[in-house]
Structure 1
Amino acid sequence: MTTAPPLLSVDWTDPVTGRTGHLVVDRLVRGVASGGLRMRAGCTREEVAGLARGMTMKEALHYDPDARYVPLGGAKGGIDCDPRSPEAYGVLVRYLRAMRPYVESMWATGEDLGLSQDVVDRAAAEAGLVSTVQAVYPLLDDEAAARARLADAFAVRVAGIGLDALVGGCGVAESVLVALDRAGVAHAGTRVSVQGLGTMGGATARFLAAAGLVVVAVADVKGTIANPAGLDVEALLAARDGHGGVDRSALRPGDRELDGDAWLEADAEVLVPAAVSYAIGPAEQGRVRARWIAEAANMPVLPRAEELLARRGVVVLPDVVVNSGTNAWWWWTLFGDVGADADEAFAYTRRAMRSLVGHVLDRAEREGVSPRAAAHALAADRLPVLEERYGWY
């Protein structure tokens, strides 16, 4: 898929701390683009631009002419700041205040790496915004009903965890299950290693464990926790802090603490990088023992590493497909394809992801290309359809 320059790129410098931030709008559909806001030390404009292009593809991949939800364009925001820094919240508020014209008119955003939706919503209100998705409101048939439906959905909790924090992991897990089913591999007993136990990684681990898979390793900022007999996923989730760090007092006697990157070489069939971008480069890929890598994070596998993994028979299920469920669920709910109900949301997510992953893997097999190349080709087929129907802007 060819890469055109983004429509809009905005750089920002915080007048108080000197920290920098970026907004990249890759494409607009009906005047609006969608994409989360991340905060991490070292975040660059190039990283944000790549993520914005990815959002354009994620939106296009979920285009269904029979659905109420019409895909938006792709965008992304990023702030170069450690979210654990005492300065972080103030930086976030000032960034959103500076970006307020874009959020009000064209950029629908939400949580991403380093930020929770609660924190983003609180900062947005302090910055004077009605909502982080208010740019979409003019596209709705019944704005009041749609906003109420989304608010009700965000209030739904499953086993103490918000529905919004679970649907993305449901989509990642379903992507893994599709790959296993196509390979004739039983769910029960298949081993998984997960990097990151935040919103996406934690929910993915929960859904995979519920499907019978065995989570043998998880990594957080403190290191890797491993147990070849299987970890108690629910106990680890209950022991998390706000950034996905696990209280080690929750570990069982058979659980071992290993180095932070030990998750890479866990004896597992499935690897789920669900934390940072660029986690698996050419050097790291040589340590991977898994048969599948499901990209729950954005851009965790570098292109050269993916080439080397493919030579060894390791299949990378790409981020533009695998982790697209969270974004899609927001819009399915807001536009009215699903209601504020957990069972309905999970069922819709599973159906949509199973269909999408199936299409991508079918095309990859038929054309002899990687799943990523197949996903990009599928997005490239759908973008002109969206352009013809709704225009570039």
Structure 2
Amino acid sequence: MSENVFEDAFNRVKSIGKSAKVSPEIIDGLMHPKAIMTASLPVRMDDGSTKYFTGIRCQYNNVLGPTKGGIRYHPDVTLEEVQALALWMTIKCAVVGLPYGGGKGGIIVDPKELSPMELERLSRAYVRAMADFIGPQNDIPAPDVYTNARIMGWMADEFEAIKRVKAPGVITGKPVRLGGSLGRDDATGRGAYLCILELAKKQKLAPEKTTVAIQGFGNGGYHVARLLQNEGYKIVAISDSKGAIYRKAGFDVDSIYKEKQKSKELKAVYCDHSVCELVEHETISNSELLELDVDILIPAALEGVITKENAKNIQAKYIVEVANGPVESDADQILDDKGIIIIPDVLANAGGVTVSYFEWAQNRQGFAWTLEKVHERLGHIMRSAFDDVWNLAEKEKRSLRDAAYTRAIRRIGEAIEAHGTRDYFNS
């Protein structure tokens, strides 16, 4: 990760915006977050003591609609990281055409050190601090790293208790019985999977001959692995925060996931019903996984894992960014020069926010959609966005990342110009 991830994100937008011939006034507007809230969150611990945690929420840009973005629980959360993630979310929503701006939040905490009751108290404390900052018409949080549907349910419940209203649209990614949407659980991975299917059509990839390595086996990493394997792709490497496993013949993804849920460890296993057996494999590091000779590399963990230092060692033909910002901006040119095609995060992982939008829309309508309808509409949005970005890249001789950012910045620019810019007022 770069020393200042926000500066990295900032420079990427500035550079691409300039090459896309977007008005400097519009680019300058994207350099300034709309509002940031930081709060100390007092939490009563199980032993009776009180600990204080820092909570952050950034509403980056709301030109296209209310701000939208996840809340992550991680010891390395920083203000700069939250701002960068909120900027990326602004771009992401514009890429796929959602009526949202970008936001993001986080708490500086290692959630693995908290009991379930401490985790609930922390989640509710965050909402108490942010209750006047978030809202279904203003800023809508969602799950992110180390947060899930249950935590979103606690947060929505706390907001409703404070406001004394039923407001399911304040949070997305909730449990289905609390107003969540069917299809939200695998939406991020499914969105990336849909992008890979479109890429395969463009590049004439045969699934059974295509090898895939996935760094990160959380929600996004698992579901894209599962869906790709069901399609016939060979998943040869998987990792979590502790390390990676590699097997040239490939793995059974569901067996590994089942064992990880049971033992909390990543093990190379094959399960037949309740009986799981170890299979032959190599144990490698996360950095070694990134440098494997595979067709598709999927970074699905945290940002900044591919840098100018290791970019020259990347052997994959395609990179699909399920994580936010896994490739630093100064590594992009190195990868482009090597002929590696990157499906950028602002397109590849947009499935999550898209189905969050569906959940918000259902909450506002008071009508639940079927899973088939969710998958159909997600497929339409992801395929349409992918084709638009691909065609723009070909037309203007740009990388897919440059094309995605160009598409987003121009959309945001059109909204800003509708209010009037310097050119209008000086005409």
Q: TM-score, normalised by structure 2?
A: 0.78
CA distance in structure 2 between the aligned counterparts of 1:178 and 1:26, rounded to whole angstroms: 31
3-state SS of paired residue (1:110)? strand
1:26 paired residue number: 60
Which of 213, 226, 236 pairs up with 1:193?
A: 213
Contact 1:167 1:325 in 2 (8 A): yes
1:4 paired residue number: 31
CA distance in structure 1 between the aligned counterparts of 2:92 and 2:262, rounded to whole angstroms: 27
3-state SS of paired residue (1:305)? helix
Q: Does 1:174 align with 2:194?
A: yes
Contact 2:298 2:320 in 1 (8 A): yes
Which of 72, 82, 101 pairs up with 2:132?
A: 101
Q: Does 1:38 align with 2:75?
A: no
**Alpha-carbon spacing, 1:340–1:357, altered in 2? closer, same or farther (3 Å):** same
2:100 paired residue number: 72
1:226 paired residue number: 246
CA distance in structure 2 between the aligned counterparts of 1:390 and 1:302, rounded to whole angstroms: 34
1:381 paired residue number: 410
1:228-276 C-alpha deviation (Å, 9 max, x unpaired): 1010011112223399853566563223322233321223110111111
1:1-393 equivalences under 5 Å are 1=17, 2=27, 3-15=30-42, 16-29=50-63, 32-63=66-97, 71-86=99-114, 89=119, 90-104=121-135, 106-126=138-158, 128=161, 134-135=169-170, 154=181, 156=182, 163-241=183-261, 245-246=265-266, 250=276, 252-335=278-361, 340-387=369-416
1:144-167 C-alpha deviation (Å, 9 max, x unpaired): xxx99995664x4xxxxxx32112
Contact 2:64 2:412 in 1 (8 A): no
**Residue type of the alignment partner of 2:294:** A
CA distance in structure 2 between the aligned counterparts of 1:124 and 1:97, rounded to whole angstroms: 11
**Alpha-carbon spacing, 1:123–1:255, altered in 2? closer, same or farther (3 Å):** farther
**Residue type of the alignment partner of 1:103:** I
Quote how far apart the aligned CAs of 1:60 are.
Answer: 1.7
1:280-324 C-alpha deviation (Å, 9 max, x unpaired): 112232332101111101111111112211111112211111101
Structure 2 unaligned blocks of 5 or more? 1-16, 18-26, 43-49, 270-275, 422-427
CA distance in structure 2 between the aligned counterparts of 1:36 and 1:231, rounded to whole angstroms: 31
CA distance in structure 2 between the aligned counterparts of 1:287 and 1:132, rounded to whole angstroms: 49
Contact 1:108 1:133 in 2 (8 A): no
CA distance in structure 1 between the aligned counterparts of 2:247 and 2:94, rounded to whole angstroms: 40
Structure 1 unaligned blocks of 5 or more? 64-69, 138-146, 157-162
**Alpha-carbon spacing, 1:259–1:149, altered in 2? closer, same or farther (3 Å):** closer
Quote how far apart the aligned CAs of 1:93 are.
Answer: 2.9
Contact 2:156 2:168 in 1 (8 A): no
CA distance in structure 1 between the aligned counterparts of 2:344 and 2:262, rounded to whole angstroms: 27
**Residue type of the alignment partner of 2:145:** L
Quote how far apart the aligned CAs of 1:123 are.
Answer: 4.3
3-state SS of paired residue (1:108)? strand
Paired positions, count: 370
**Residue type of the alignment partner of 2:131:** R
**Residue type of the alignment partner of 2:226:** R
**Alpha-carbon spacing, 1:32–1:131, altered in 2? closer, same or farther (3 Å):** farther
**Residue type of the alignment partner of 1:257:** T
- Give the aligned CA root-mean-square deviation in angstroms: 3.1
Contact 1:107 1:133 in 2 (8 A): no
3-state SS of paired residue (1:194)? strand
Contact 1:58 1:320 in 2 (8 A): yes
Aligned identity (percent) is 26
Quote how far apart the aligned CAs of 1:52 are.
Answer: 0.8
Contact 1:25 1:33 in 2 (8 A): yes
**Residue type of the alignment partner of 1:254:** E
Contact 2:247 2:280 in 1 (8 A): yes
CA distance in structure 2 between the aligned counterparts of 1:38 and 1:121, rounded to whole angstroms: 15
CA distance in structure 2 between the aligned counterparts of 1:72 and 1:92, rounded to whole angstroms: 24
Q: TM-score, normalised by structure 1?
A: 0.84
1:86-141 C-alpha deviation (Å, 9 max, x unpaired): 2771433322221121123621011001211222322443564668863499xxxx
Contact 2:260 2:267 in 1 (8 A): yes
Contact 1:195 1:274 in 2 (8 A): yes
CA distance in structure 2 between the aligned counterparts of 1:248 and 1:46, rounded to whole angstroms: 37
Contact 1:169 1:201 in 2 (8 A): yes
